[in-house]
Amino acid sequence: MHSIRMKTKCTCLSSQARKRLQGAELILKGYNNDQIADILNVTPRSVQNWRNKLKEHNNKITCLRRKHGSGQSPLLHEEQKQQLKQIVIEGTRKAGYPTERRTSNDAIIVHQSVLL
């Protein structure tokens, strides 16, 4: 266990965000990639990516924050989500399926029918 005192202790951040910010602190303190990777239990490549990004942004650690909407776009739009929810609430038999039993295959079929 490492006994390095870091300023980044905000519990409102995800564990990934906290690691990125702690990594930035360690980079700015002069630790090398392997040391930081070991301390934070991440890959040295991740640390190198953080280091590169920091360099591009004049060592402003805020550049390592997650950008809003950086994940995959939703597969269903809002109306389709509501349709799927209604099918689940009303039951699969009412939606035209042979039984009320819900299997993963049934879920895929229902999901695909909502997409059409």
Query: What are the domain boundaries of the chain?
Result: 15-64, 78-115
| Residue 36 one-letter amino acid | I
Position 1 scores a pLDDT of 45
DSSP state string for the chain: ------S---TTS-HHHHHHHHHHHHHHHT--HHHHHHHHT--HHHHHHHHHHHHHTTT-GGGGSPPTT-SPPPSS-HHHHHHHHHHHHH-TTTTT-S-S---HHHHHHHHHHHH-
Q: Cβ atoms within 10 A of the Cβ of 61, count? A: 19
Q: What is the dihedral of CA 89, 90, 96, 102, to 10 degrees?
A: 40
- Global pTM value: 0.53
Of 90 and 97, the structure prediction assigns the larger pLDDT to 90
Q: What is the pLDDT of residues 7-38, one digit of tens each?
A: 555 567 788 889 999 999 999 999 999 999 99
